[in-house]
Chain A
């Protein structure tokens, strides 16, 4: 017969062990996915994979050069549009966002962050593709920009808020006008964190597919004109994975490995950009 205290201690141990088990189970799919990506994807990677376009259906060989370049263009344009707006909005919220307007913007940014990306896809279709009359990479970039703006707005706000108030007071006391205080002191001090938030957001949209289905559409050829439909890695993976050919499946794994590598590299760059000064995160 064990004592009540011992039983309680034992139960505590048991529950602790369960939480460890939860962590192990949660990490299992991560390792499984990465292992499968490397095992199945690496064998597809060769020189042709990076320099050729997809072969005709059913043929062997071919690569995803058009999709790699397309991803870089679509995501690059989206970042060029979305990052300045997001950062501007975030700085506004941190510096002037105390009023009702600030509360509304903050709340709607959170709501938009949770909006399904496929909704943004049909929104971009009605907004750009329908009036223009044809699919285009630019429409895809704008859809991705819609996704990135609220994300970057919130991270930027948080980073600027972390800058100690004393820095602002010091600048104002020295006679800096308000705008220079914000731009040269507050944003400057928060910059590494802002860059991290931006890179994380760009990494997130680099893997997006749903908003591109009805905008960038995909393309079998190598295109660099943003006014035309364009292939991206994510769209290519979708087509290859759901298609009937062995060869396509092989290429899908290769493309997925490349896409994952791009996303991870941006994630690592994001972590390197901050050795944040004001916060241990």
Chain B
């Protein structure tokens, strides 16, 4: 008869009873609930606002390359393509550098150098996007025009990727700016992932007679592989959605072109550029561009988390604002 009571009394009981605890907890829960509420609100409002364009164009929206406000026909293919191409350029440039920096800082750099160099690289993430854009317009593009494009076109001008006239604002300028901007994210997360590799991995390889590089290459990197991949995917997510610096240097032209020296457009850039002047169906089309961009970045970020968690489980690696 008394058995159930006895069992209950054996459970350790904190002094949790009372309105203080209930009130405190519900307050915190409400604050935490803001995050999912915002997420749902963003999805809902974007979808509702984009609905007229979705109904009008269906899936054609994704691969039609006409964007004509006068005729009222909208297709996002040039922007989707431009977003992917500029992000690809950024990754090609940033990944080797960022992973190189991360390896240097965790494996090779003398101790006194690690903190300052790491801080400086992360400082790149503190520079506002619009300042990158300003620098891109007045420093990077003139630099490209004088010193980079002429020799590049002399050698590779025959390929479709480097043919055409260089006006300054171009896919290449956008890609380079993006590379600089995502580098600190990739290197910082890679660094934390590499630091999470157990020292025994390194020590075992060294004990077997590996050189320091061989230890990194054959023991540390394989262990950290999925985490570094996660860091790269995280950088990709940043590049896909980056707006101001891109809109200032990429040229903002709605044409599909594989040429890196010609102007292009990205999804984020067209929203920034046309939203305030748009109305009606054009505005709905811009909302649909936003919805596509949001969907892609959500998917990319979710993938990145899963990859990072595989190496550095139970940590906030990659979640922190740097």
Contact = CB atoms under 8 A, between A and B. Distances in A.
Interface of A: 8-9, 11-12, 15-16, 18-23, 25-27, 29-30, 32-33, 36-37, 40, 84-89, 91-93, 95-97, 101-102, 104-105, 107-123, 125-127, 146, 149-151, 153-155, 157-158, 172, 175-180, 182-183, 197, 200-201, 203-204, 206-210, 213-214, 217, 234, 237-238, 241-242, 249, 252-253, 256, 259-260, 263-264, 267
Nearest to B236: A114
Nearest to B244: A209
Interface in B54-106: 96-101, 103-105
Given A84-B31, A89-B35, 11 more contacts: A16-B104, A21-B100, A26-B97, A26-B100, A85-B31, A93-B32, A110-B305, A119-B271, A121-B272, A122-B46, A149-B35
Interface string B89-133: 000000011111101110111000000010011011011111111
A105 B37 CA distance: 10
A120 to B, nearest CB: 7
A220 to B, nearest CB: 16
Contact of A203 (B126, B139, B290, B316): B126
A22 B104 contact: yes
B121 A27 contact: yes
19 contacts: A15-B213, A18-B100, A23-B101, A29-B180, A30-B121, A36-B135, A36-B139, A108-B39, A116-B268, A121-B272, A153-B32, A172-B14, A177-B21, A179-B23, A204-B126, A206-B128, A207-B130, A234-B130, A242-B248
A256 B104 contact: no
A85 B211 contact: no
Contacts of A11: 211, 213
A29 B177 CA distance: 10
B134 A241 contact: yes
A12 B103 CA distance: 13
A123 B45 contact: yes
Interface residues of B, number: 97
Nearest to A175: B15
A135 to B, nearest CB: 9
Interface string B174-190: 00000010010001000
Contact of A22 (B42, B96, B293): B96
A178 B14 CA distance: 8
Interface stretch (B146-154, B160-168, B294-302): B294-302
